Structure 1
Amino acid sequence: MTSRMVLVVDDDDSVREITQLSLEAVAGWQVRAAGSGSRALEMLRERRPEVVLLDVMMPGMDGPTTFRAMQADPELRDVPVVLLTAKVRMGSVQPWDDLGVAGVIAKPFDPMSLAHEVSALVGWDAAG
């Protein structure tokens, strides 16, 4: 697989660690991690990743607010964002439906298939 640069944004330390270990060990991707939406925006401006995995529910600046801030910045608006959430309700309207994110992955996710799920959502081929 090609090495990808990913930013993982989640206020839960254990979720960040599992996500980072999964993507680094299984896919060989480079992973940076942020514990808040505001820190994520700082990190995005320092070094732009190829995709952002963004938790929906975080204190302070939540995922949708962080995504909207990215969309307002011409340098960041085309970075694909995949939301991570434990609040998926089947068959109902979701609060992120109109955001324009690349996709949503439900927590808990399978660490062994996470890279494949992300790749499929952002349109990377299986080798990438």
Structure 2
Amino acid sequence: MAINVLLVEDDDDIREVLTLALHLDSEISLTAYHSGEAALADIAERQLAFDVALLDYRLPGMTGIELHKALRRLPSCCDLVTVMITASLGKEYVALFQAENIAGLISKPFDVLAIPSEVRALTQPRQPKGNAIKWLTERIRTAS
């Protein structure tokens, strides 16, 4: 079963490392963009659909939250599972992410080799228990 993953990361090095890591899993199909605007334009034009979105929180032009909301308004992405990539793990960010139905967080720096299996787990009925993607319910307990 192919897993369609959207990656939006403005940092070229992080985007490249994540791309290389995700390509280690032959069942992950990855589409990556450097900005939210580029992603939205291409996704809308080509009516692309994704299972999982990995979005940098601090993108130029829009935040990852704004991009998440815009993606969810597209019919092809309304059921998207979103994970935010961020160095901001304060309680206020966790509350914001939870309020917007963000599934989890990847905090920088992260274990890049763990990402493919944890992304795969996002599409399973049970939540992953890995060390790269932190589920918000788990993060809230540890952030309190």
Q: Give the TM-score band, short-chain normalised.
A: 0.7 to 0.9
Q: Distance in 1 between matches of 2:103 and 2:71?
A: 14
Q: Distance in 2 between matches of 1:111 and 1:124?
A: 23
Counterpart code for 1:87: S
Unaligned runs of 5+ in 2: 129-144
Q: TM-score w.r.t. structure 2 length?
A: 0.74
For the aligned residue pairs, the C-alpha RMSD in angstroms reads 2.0
Q: TM-score w.r.t. structure 1 length?
A: 0.82
Report if the CA contact (8 A) 2:50-2:77 is conserved: no
Deviations 1:29-87 (A, max 9, x none): 22111011111112333221221111100110210110111222333221211111111
Q: Distance in 1 between matches of 2:123 and 2:101?
A: 12
Q: 3-state SS of the aligned residue for 1:112?
A: helix
2:134 maps to which residue? none
**Correspondence 1:112 to 2:113:** yes
Q: Percent identity?
A: 33
Higher helix proportion (structure 1 or 2): 2
1:6 maps to which residue? 5
2:141 maps to which residue? none
Report if the CA contact (8 A) 1:24-1:31 is conserved: yes
Report if the CA contact (8 A) 1:4-1:30 is conserved: yes
Report if the CA contact (8 A) 1:83-1:105 is conserved: yes
Counterpart code for 2:18: T
Q: 3-state SS of the aligned residue for 2:60?
A: coil
Of 8-17 and 105-114, more deviation after overlay is shown by 105-114
